[in-house]
């Protein structure tokens, strides 16, 4: 073979031909450095060629061959699969697998820190043992199989999948654990390390370039065996992957909303299938997608019914806010205040949940009615009083909180509307001046270190009341926490999101699961104006099955996911009428196909984002249709003008 087609990690759809210099031993998958224009770049040998159509005087030679092991064929297949499925440039998907600065400059030694070796004896229940046996056998069989490890919070799911990890490691294989939120993963990593007596390699966006390069090499060489990472870890070039685990599979943060738009959980199942290995999805509140796959027999459900150590799920009650005439600046009902007082009296801990960062979601001028809005987005700008700043949660725009109204210049006329966590804290401190209160949000906890510090303070009983956003809902064990109060249980039900009810149910179940996880009994109080909403009723009854059944019936009737397919085509640009026109033009070129419907163009709920106007076409098709093929043919018919960006989102989640 005298030539090679090299794929580069950039926005290209196909590899380019290069000449192999005499004596250079390249194989398919080799990492090579090639000239590109006036510079050079590292890419991957996608295919060896006996000859090239490029005229010999124009073809350039490969300059360098890396000594690192070639990218495995199965990793390359996976990259192609994802590019095809998401309609993304092949090179952009490759980028996710290898765009790590300096990995090819020198061989690095990865020396994980020393382990604290203390084996903690753990006895599994009968239920756990049965599930673990099945998973171990699946790992040993080295074939594709998909499982849902389904158990309420505190049922000991981690101990069960630990047994499967052990089996994989024993065989000398690599094991990948995908987690939705890396900042809070340190306790899990520590637990895995202690129990497995093996250092875990974490992979996420907070790594330094040096850490990133060391870890990437160790993974590519097969030296790093246990990898715990965010969704991006799925694209690493594992040479001997033997098991994938997706913890909290229902979490929406597995969906990547920028660059290549993909769902980490779904693509993990694809990779497991391509590589013929088992995958374990883990959740206390499975997504309807996964639930449906269990019911149709595609996935095997392993159910853990009992809460570990005999603890029970806390009872959930609603507080009907229609009965309380709350003063305008108060958000905690007398009933909840009383429950908080009783709990801290007993020296137990309280969690107040409000999924709203900052002081108030909206700031309004009482003189002229002006609302403070982000200059780049169709969104209110959120006051962060502690920082003295206004912040847009969509584009990151910041400004100082103004003293006067920017519109009518009236003094002291700006007025906060609605509660954010900071305002809730103010109210709580007024009621309980002696209580120790901590905020648990992404504004206060940005790094694993900060998370560790706060968690250990809570553990040590140094905090009485935790006020948190969705960040606090995820998998933490607070043994002394016995009261959970949800300030606005209706919040997630607003908006036209297809999965709004499902998401709300999951979030509230997860938050509720923080209470009473040890011997002490817990209690959950939901403040709501809709106590009769199906989500509230299902939560009170603790009836997940019935809730999912209803939700499935509704979506089946509407032929929407997971019983139908969606793709969104999003147009964006600085000139609104041009954006709308490009969307309309494509809409008019849509080929007719039975069972496929094109809806729109409609302005996105946030018409303007980061200074760009956005319009959306929504394509709805039957579950078994080849949506990608339809889209490929159609999109080729009316390419948008260069000033307009067009993005395809297969299986869209967020319709912001
Ligand atoms: Zn004003
Ligand atoms: Zn903004």
Residue that finishes a domain, picked among 498, 520, 552: 552
Could you tell me the CATH number of the domain that includes residue 583? 3.30.70.600
Query: What is the per-residue pLDDT across 467-506, written as a single tens digit (0 to 9) for each?
Result: 999 888 776 778 899 999 999 999 888 766 889 899 999 9
299 Cα–ligand 1 center, Å: 58
Determine contact, residues 246/234, Cβ cutoff 8 Å: no
User: 532 and 495, same structural domain?
Assistant: yes
Which residue carries 């016995």 as its tokens? 482
Asked if the structure places residue 17 within a domain, the reply is yes
> Is 80 strand, coil or helix?
helix
| Residue 324 lies inside a defined structural domain of this protein | yes
CA–centroid distance, residue 325 to ligand 1 (Å): 28
Residues 336 and 432 in one domain: yes
Q: Give yes or no: residues 381 and 262 share one domain.
A: no
Q: Which ligand is nearest to the CA of 376?
A: 2
Tell whether 349 is covered by a domain: yes
79-92 in b/e form (b: 16+ CB < 10 A) is: bbbbbebbbbbbbb
Question: 606: buried, middle or exposed (CB in 10 Å: 19+, 13-18, 0-12)?
Answer: middle
- 655 is a domain residue: no
Q: Does residue 528 belong to any structural domain of this protein?
A: yes
- Asked if residue 617 and residue 630 are part of one domain, the reply reads yes
Kindly state the DSSP code that residue 348 receives in the 8-state scheme: -
521 lies in the same domain as 586? no
Residue ending a domain, choose from 48, 71, 94: 71
Q: Quick check: is 115 in a domain?
A: no
Ligand 1 centre and the CA of 402: distance in Å? 11
| pLDDT per position as a tens digit, 195-253 | 898 999 999 988 899 999 999 999 999 999 999 999 999 999 999 999 999 999 999 99
Q: Looking at the CA of 405, which ligand is closest? A: 1
- Rounded to the nearest angstrom, the distance between the alpha carbon of 130 and the centre of ligand 1 is 66
Number of domains in the chain: 5
CA of 418 to the centre of ligand 1 (A): 18
Are 523 and 589 members of one domain?
Answer: no
CA torsion sign for 471, 475, 481, 486 is positive
Residues 154 and 298 in one domain: yes
Determine, yes or no, domain membership for 95: no
377 and 345, same structural domain? Answer: no
Sheet of 389-391: strands edge to edge? Answer: 382-384, 389-391, 398-400
> Do the domain assignments include residue 505?
yes
Note the pLDDT tens digit of each residue in 162-196. Answer: 999 999 999 999 999 999 988 778 888 988 998 89
- Per-residue pLDDT reduced to its tens digit, 61-105: 999 999 999 999 999 999 999 999 999 999 999 999 998 888 998
Q: Which ligand lies nearest to the CA atom of residue 381 in the structure?
A: 2
If asked whether residues 281 and 147 sit together in one domain, one would say: yes
Cis peptide before 502 (omega within 30 of 0): no
Reported as a single tens digit per residue, the pLDDT across 106-161 is 888 887 776 666 666 788 999 999 999 999 999 999 999 999 999 987 788 999 99
Do residue 437 and residue 325 come from a single domain? yes
Give 411 Cα–ligand 1 centroid separation in angstroms.
9
pTM: 0.92
What's 316's domain CATH number? 3.40.50.300
Domain co-membership, 583 together with 632: yes
Range of the domain at 392: 359-418
Last residue of a domain, one of 71, 92, 110: 71
Q: What is the CA(329)–ligand 1 centre distance, in A?
A: 20
Same domain, 323 and 374: no
């Amino acid at each position: 073979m005298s030539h090679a087609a090299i794929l580069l990690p950039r926005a290209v759809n196909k590899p380019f031909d290069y000449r192999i210099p005499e004596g250079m031993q390249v194989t398919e998958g080799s990492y090579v450095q090639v000239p590109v224009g006036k510079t050079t770049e590292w890419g991957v040998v996608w295919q060896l060629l006996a000859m090239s159509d490029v005229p010999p005087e124009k073809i350039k030679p490969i300059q360098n061959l890396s000594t690192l092991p070639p990218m495995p064929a199965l990793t390359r297949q996976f990259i192609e699969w994802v590019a095809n499925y998401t309609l993304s440039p092949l090179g952009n998907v490759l980028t996710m697998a290898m765009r790590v600065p300096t990995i090819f400059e020198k061989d690095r030694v990865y020396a994980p820190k020393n382990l604290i070796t203390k084996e903690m004896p753990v006895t599994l229940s009968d239920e756990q043992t049965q599930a673990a046996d099945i998973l171990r056998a699946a790992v040993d069989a080295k074939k594709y199989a998909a499982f849902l490890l389904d158990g309420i919070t505190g049922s000991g799911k981690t101990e069960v999948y630990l047994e499967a990890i052990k089996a994989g490691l024993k065989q000398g294989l690599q094991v990948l654990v995908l987690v939705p939120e890396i900042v809070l993963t340190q306790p899990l990593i520590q637990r895995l390390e202690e129990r497995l007596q093996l250092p875990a390699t974490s992979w996420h966006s907070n790594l330094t370039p040096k850490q990133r390069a060391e870890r990437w090499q160790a993974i590519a060489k097969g030296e790093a065996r246990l990898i715990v990472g965010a969704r991006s870890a799925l694209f690493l070039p594992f040479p001997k992957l033997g098991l994938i685990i997706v913890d909290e599979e229902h979490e929406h943060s597995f969906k990547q909303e920028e660059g290549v738009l993909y769902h980490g959980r779904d693509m993990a199942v694809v990779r497991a299938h391509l590589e013929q290995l088992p995958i374990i999805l883990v959740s206390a509140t499975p997504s309807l997608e996964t639930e449906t796959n269990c019911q149709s027999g595609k996935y095997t459900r392993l159910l853990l019914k009992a809460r570990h150590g005999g603890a029970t799920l806390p009872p959930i009650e609603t507080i009907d806010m229609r009965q309380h005439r709350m003063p305008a600046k108060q958000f905690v009902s007398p009933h909840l205040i009383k429950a908080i007082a009783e709990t801290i009296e007993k020296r137990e801990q309280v969690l107040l949940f409000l999924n709203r960062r900052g002081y108030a979601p909206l700031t309004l001028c009482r003189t002229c009615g002006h609302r403070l809005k982000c200059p780049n987005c169709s969104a209110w700008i959120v006051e962060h009083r502690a920082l003295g700043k206004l912040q847009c949660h969509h584009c990151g725009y910041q400004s100082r909180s103004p003293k006067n109204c920017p519109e009518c210049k009236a003094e002291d006329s700006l007025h906060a509307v609605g509660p954010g966590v900071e305002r809730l804290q103010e109210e709580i401190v007024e009621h309980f001046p002696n209580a120790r209160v901590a905020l648990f949000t992404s504004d206060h906890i940005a790094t694993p270190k900060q998370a560790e510090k706060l968690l250990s303070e809570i553990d040590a009983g140094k905090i009485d009341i935790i006020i948190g956003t969705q960040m606090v809902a995820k998998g933490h064990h607070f043994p002394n926490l016995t009261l959970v109060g949800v300030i606005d249980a209706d919040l997630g039900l607003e908006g036209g999101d297809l999965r709004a009810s499902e998401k709300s149910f999951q979030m509230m179940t997860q938050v509720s699961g923080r209470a009473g996880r040890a011997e002490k009994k817990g209690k959950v109080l939901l403040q709501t104006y809709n106590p009769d909403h199906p989500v509230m009723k299902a939560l009170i009854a603790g009836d997940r099955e019935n809730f999912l059944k209803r939700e499935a019936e509704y979506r089946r009737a509407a032929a929407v996911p997971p019983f139908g397919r969606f793709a969104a085509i999003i147009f964006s640009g600085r000139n609104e009428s041009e954006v709308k026109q490009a969307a309309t033009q494509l809409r008019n070129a849509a080929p007719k196909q039975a069972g496929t419907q094109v809806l729109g163009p409609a302005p996105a709920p946030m018409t303007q984002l980061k200074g760009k106007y956005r319009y959306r076409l929504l394509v709805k098709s039957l579950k078994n249709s080849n949506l990608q093929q339809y889209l490929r043919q159609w999109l080729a018919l009316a390419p948008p003008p260069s000033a307009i960006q067009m993005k395809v989102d297969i299986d869209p989640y967020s319709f912001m």
